[in-house]
Structure formats: C-alpha cells, structure tokens
Structure 1
Amino acid sequence: MITPLLDVTRIYAEPAAAASARGLEILGRWPDAEVVPVESHWRIPELHGDEANVRRWVRIKTEALVLGEKKSIATRPNGRSADFIAPSLSNGCAMACVYCYVPRRKGYSNPVTVFTNSDQILRHVARHIHKQGEKTMPNQCDPAAWVYDLGENSDCSVDALISENVRDAVDLFRMSPTAKASFATKYVNRDLLDWDPRGRTRVRFSLMPAEVAKVTDLRTTRMSERIAAINDFVEAGYEVHVNFSPVIITPTWLDDWRALLTEVDDVLSDAAKQQLAAEVIFLTHNEPLHEVNLGWHPTGESLIWQPGIQETKRSQNGAENIRYRYDLKQRGVAELTALIAEILPYCPIRYAF
C-alpha cells in the first residue's frame, strides 16, 4: 500500500489565518481534520523543538498542516537561480529529503505551513516587479526577464495540492511581461499542466541518480517520471530547466551521473532540449541535521555524512555547514560539468558549485 503524500488529520491554525478566505478554503479541503488554534505558526510546542517527533518525522509530514500569516513580507536579491527571492507563500514540505535545510530552522518537525495572506504577499511582488521596470542587462538568471524564486523554503508543486496560492502566483507572472516566476520541484503535479503559464513560469526539476534518490529523496516522484514530465511541462507553456542537485559523491557517482544524463538526452523532445538550462549544486550538510536524521533515517546519513571527505565551511548566510573538501569538490565540479557538456551539449550550465 502506498502512503498518500497528504492525509491531513490535524490543522494548527492562527485564528486570523483560519478565518481568512484562503484559510477557509483550505479547511474545506479537509473538513474532518481537527483544528487546533495556535498563537503563532512558528511556536507550536508539540511540533517544534520536541525531540520525540524525530520518530514520527514522516507521519507528521503526512498528517499535520499549519495555517499562518506571513508577518515579514520582503523580496531579497539573489543572483544565482533568480534575480530575487520572493516572499514565501509557504514553509516546509510534505516530502522528506534527508539533506533538506528547512528543518534546521524549524526543530524536530517540518510539516507544510501555508501562509493564508497570499493576496498581500502577491500585491507586494507585483509592486516590486513594477518598480524594476524592464531588464536591460542579460545575466545568468535570464537574458530578458527579472526572475523571482517562489519556493525557497517549500516545494510549490506540493503546495499546489493544498491551496490556490501557487496558481495565483503563476497567474500574476503570466500577466507580467518583464518578469518570470521560478521554482524547483521534486514532485510531478500534473494539475499544473492546465494553468496556461505562457512562458512566464520556470519549473526547475531536481534530478540525481535514481539509486541514490531512493535512499535520500523519500516521498518524492520517481526520477524517471520527473524526466518524462519535462516534455509535458514544456508543451503546456512552462520554461523547464533542471537542477542537478544535490550531487552526492559515492564510489560510482560519475558512472551513475552518466546514466542519468544519458536518460535525459534519450527522453527529452527537441523542444525541451532547445530551451533547457541547468544548475549544478554539490551536497551541503549540517551537523545538527545529521543528529536529527540519525533518529529517523540513518541509512540516508550513510550516504551524506562522510567526515573523511568533508570539511566545515561557513556559508554566505553565516551558518556553519559541512561540505566536500575543497580540492575534492573542485575536481568533482570539473568532472561533472565536462560530462554534462559531453552528453547534453545543448544544455548551458548557469552555475556550478
């Protein structure tokens, strides 16, 4: 029996969020769920900071949902995948990738939190787009449009199962000739194929060797299905790129990537190939997350926690993370980018690190 991605039985809700139009819409989707009032979506004792929740990691993701209002609404500059990081429409995820950085901030549980004041968030984004005007200097994000990342702390394809937040955002960008939305995903939600994005939303399917993903990417769409979906999303009017991420070094990692890249080349249509671009990101880990993961999925940790080939490095945001040793990573980036150039010569790499 396949466990459903979402089988919501308990909804923690700030009162204002529950009473909002979006909140009522979401509550209507799970009318039998218990509604638990909370003062803040960030401070829910039985979800956040309770070490016992590690043993119920996946069950909480399946059964719990949080409704809140986003208090701090701001757009931040980026410059890698996107020109800007838009304010999140949600936080957390129903999937369970062992390397996900979001639980590092949320404690011992990480169910989806939906922000119900999406109209306020999207009005802010619309004003920001208007203020930017036309993009006159091409960059690695896009040659002509300002790119806004919608899903920094979530997976928008999964969020679209819960509310209309993501569809409203796609509608906004469809009407924005100077900007594009962008989000990475590991879930194929075919409902999105009916949304008519008209090229103003970029979907970035995250890809990695399937055998590794079976261990690290729990509750996500199978790799072959993600690859096959690229053609359908391009045909439906999306710009579709790929994230080769995270790159996890194993004894057979380059052979495994060769097989994956060959599958991508075999499956993609000419139309998909003509518009393809990629990002390459090697694994970043974190010691507190490692300790959490040992409590629910130690098998995954055997792949991503490798002290013999990793070192501590402080990230741009000030966090102390674990990455592959500098020499090993530099060599790995060079080897993988050369392999991509060999097998997918039509696929430019926006950045690799």
Structure 2
Amino acid sequence: MLQANQLLQISRIYVEPAAAALPRGQEILARWPDADVVEVASHWRIPELSGDEANVRRWVRIKTEALIVGVKKSLTAKPNGRSADFIAPSTANGCAMACAYCYVPRHKGYSNPITVFANIDQITGYLERHVARQGMKLEPNQCDEHAWVYDIGENSDCSVDALVSDNVQDLVDLYRDLPTAKLSFATKYVNRDLLAWDPRERTRIRFSLMPEKLARTVDVRTTPVAERIAAINDFVEAGYEVHVNFSPVIITPGWQEDWRELFGQLDAALSPAARKQLAAEVIFLTHNQQLHEVNLGWHPQAEEILWRPDLQETKQSQNGFTNVRYVAYDKRGYLDEFLRLAGEQLPYCRIRYAF
C-alpha cells in the first residue's frame, strides 16, 4: 500500500487569499510549514498546472507535490438518483491518486492535484439547511429505503482528502446527527484513521473493486484491491455502512474468469455482519478522447486496455466531450453475464443499480 507520506509530499501550496484567511485554510497551511506558498487569484486556472501539455510528463509528480487551497463559491446540491439522492457541494476536487480512467482531469487541463476548499462552515451550513428542507423520506428508492443520501465525493476521493484537512470528518460528524439523511462516498484508498471516527451508520463508504491484475495497470497509486476487501469488516465494525462499487467494468480477454475470482475473494473475506448490509453498484467503463490523448503521454499501457475502438462506440456528452462506451447491444450482453456471475457467487449482495 502506498503510505500517506509517499502519496503526498507537498512542497508547493497554491492558495487563494480568501482561503488563507479562513481557519480551515490556516490549518491546512500549518500542516506543511516548509512548503512554498504561492498566492493565486483562482483555484481553477493556475498556469503551472492547467493547460500546459508539458505537464503530462510530470503527471504523478504534480499530484504528489502540489496542493491547492480555495473557496467553493457555488453551493448547490444536485439531484442524482443513482449513487445518491443528491450530489453535495464538493469540499475538494482532484486527487493524489492517478487512475487512468478518471474523468476529473478533463476539467482541469493536464494535471489534477487535490484542490481543497477552506469554507467548510459555509458548506456544512448549506447542507444542514438542505437536509431540513427535504423533510422525511416517505418513499424508499434504490439510493436508500429511509434516508436522503448525499454523495460528498463526486470529484475526489474522500479517504485521501482526509489526509489533507478535517473537512471529511466534519461532514461525517454533521450527518451522524441528521436522522433523515446519510452521506456517501466511493474510495480506492484505505485510510484507517477513519476507523477512529464515530459515524453511527450515517456514512456509507463504497469501496471500488476490480480484478487485481487489471487494477495494477489502471488503478495507479491506489490501495491494492485485496487490502480494500480486507478493510470492509473493520469499517462495518467501526459503525460505517459499507457497500462496494464494481467499477469500472473493463472488457478484456477472460474478463468473466477474472471477475469470478474477485467475487470469490470478496465472499471469503466478509463477516456475517458485512454480508448482511452489503449492496453494490456496477458501472461499465466510459472513456474520453481527450483523456486518452493525455494518457498516451504518461501511461500508454493503460490505453491498450481502455481505448478499444473495436468494442466501443462514440457518444457526445452534454458538456461537449467525445466519450466512448461499449457498443450498446454488446454491453447489454456483458451486463447480463456480469450480473449472472455476481448472483451465483454473491447471492446476498443486492445490486443497487448497474449501467
């Protein structure tokens, strides 16, 4: 496992003046007192980090050494209906890990180190008011039977964000006292510091899983899959609701046998308590032409797996990006086969949604 001091070796912090003036901003700056501090007008467009093609060669180094501290200006909880009822305003975006299929770099030029937002009090205040406006959840849905679910990690990995600031713990503390809501985030990093928190089953962690030999190529700088599986029982015992994401499902030669092996590993590892509360999401790979071209500059081996014109078709996204997905007719067959395999080996695991 890549340790925290290897994952983050912060030597330069780019900070908005408004963020530096806030208590959380000051706490973050104090964590790395020897780092160079560079004042920036906006956390979005930093010339050394964004839009410079030469940065592709320094992709991982930038993620390791750079940190951005800003203020989140737009506070909106977006309706979702898949992983959660709502996507909460981000407390961070970007990541120190480097999964080759990650969509966040599409919006941040040629590098996406962690940007953490210092106005956490505004964000938690907004969310508390938003939850209150929803009232009781009267009709169960696939997100949750009783609680409104808020995803707090759409644009980052909260387990890694917790290495940078107390934002994630503040949100866990907030939601454990909100009887009508719970928070949720997906992760590929096992941060055992979270085991000392007190979530009281109001936080749902979704460990993302894929076959280990595939993860070694595309899940760059993440916790090994076997360690993610081994952590599930501990997080359940610590008071978290723990689901899994089978994501992304990538079609390779022999993919069925690889997933059958993973399902067996998961089944063998789970405690009775973990099995009882387990549910899963299944998400097939969506890739992107812009990210494909970036990846060719730093990790071309991954693109041999991710970029498969013989299996994929093009679809224009609402944001104008050119995305590729598995051909719809074939994907239906892949999905049916995947669900059959999961049903055979993990019959107690409810599939919340699959696409």
Q: For this structure pair, what is the TM-score category when the shorter chain's length is used for normalisation?
A: over 0.9
Deviates most, 215-224 or 320-329: 320-329
Could you tell me how far 1:16 is from its partner in structure 2? Answer: 1.1
The equivalent residue for 2:293 is: 291
Sort the Cα spacing of 1:316 and 1:344 in 2 relative to 1 into closer, same or farther, 3 A. farther
In 2: Cα distance, 1:281 partner to 1:139 partner: 19
Question: What is the CA–CA distance in structure 1 between the aligned matches of 2:149 and 2:318, rounded to whole Å?
Answer: 21
Q: Does 1:16 align with 2:14?
A: no
1:7 and 2:24 equivalent?
no
2:43 corresponding residue in structure 1: 41
Deviation at 1:23, TM superposition (A): 0.7
**Structure 1 residues 317 and 344: alpha-carbon distance in aligned structure 2, compared to 1, 3 A threshold:** farther
1:325 to 324, 327, 331: 327
* Per-residue deviation, 1:318: 5.6
Which residue in 1 is equivalent to 2:63?
A: 61
Distance in structure 1 (CA, Å) of the matches to 2:88 and 2:267: 32
1:9-42 deviation per Cα after TM superposition (whole angstroms, max 9, x unaligned): 0000001111210011011110000000000000
Question: Alpha-carbon deviation of 1:313?
Answer: 1.7
List alignment gaps of at least 5 residues for structure 2: none
Q: Which secondary structure does the structure 2 equivalent of 1:26 belong to?
A: helix
Which residue, out of 189, 207, 220, partners 2:191? 189
Q: Distance in 1 between matches of 2:211 and 2:319?
A: 29
Moved more, 14-23 or 198-207: 14-23
Counterparts of 1:68 and 1:24, CA distance in 2: 12
| C-alpha distance in structure 2 between counterparts of 1:315 and 1:350, whole Å | 24
State the distance in 1 between where 2:327 and 2:85 align.
29
Q: Which runs of 5+ in 1 are unaligned?
A: none
Q: Which residue does the alignment assign to 1:230? A: 232
Deviations 1:143-182 (A, max 9, x none): 0000000000000000000000000000000000100000
Task: Name the aligned partner's letter for residue 109 of structure 1.
Answer: S
Match of 1:221 among 213, 220, 223: 223
For residue 204 of structure 1, give the secondary structure of its aligned residue in structure 2. strand
Change (3 A) 1:138 1:245: same
1:131-280 → structure 2 map (5 Å cutoff): 131-280=133-282
C-alpha RMSD of matched pairs (Å): 1.1
**Mapped partners of 2:79, 2:325: distance in 1:** 24
| Displacement after TM superposition at 1:328 (Å) | 1.5
What CA distance in whole angstroms lies between the structure 2 residues aligned with 1:318 and 1:85?
21
Task: Note the C-alpha offset of 1:314.
Answer: 3.2
Letter in 1 for 2:280: A
Partner deviation per Cα, 1:219-238 (whole Å, 9 max, x = no partner): 00000000010000000000
TM-score, normalising length: structure 1: 0.98
Opposite residue 78 of structure 2, the aligned amino acid is R
The percent of aligned pairs where both chains have the same amino acid is 70
Alignment of 1:119-138 (within 5 A): 119-138=121-140
TM-score by length of 2: 0.98
CA distance in 1, matches of 2:95, 2:49: 14
Between 119-128 and 316-325, report the one with greater CA deviation: 316-325
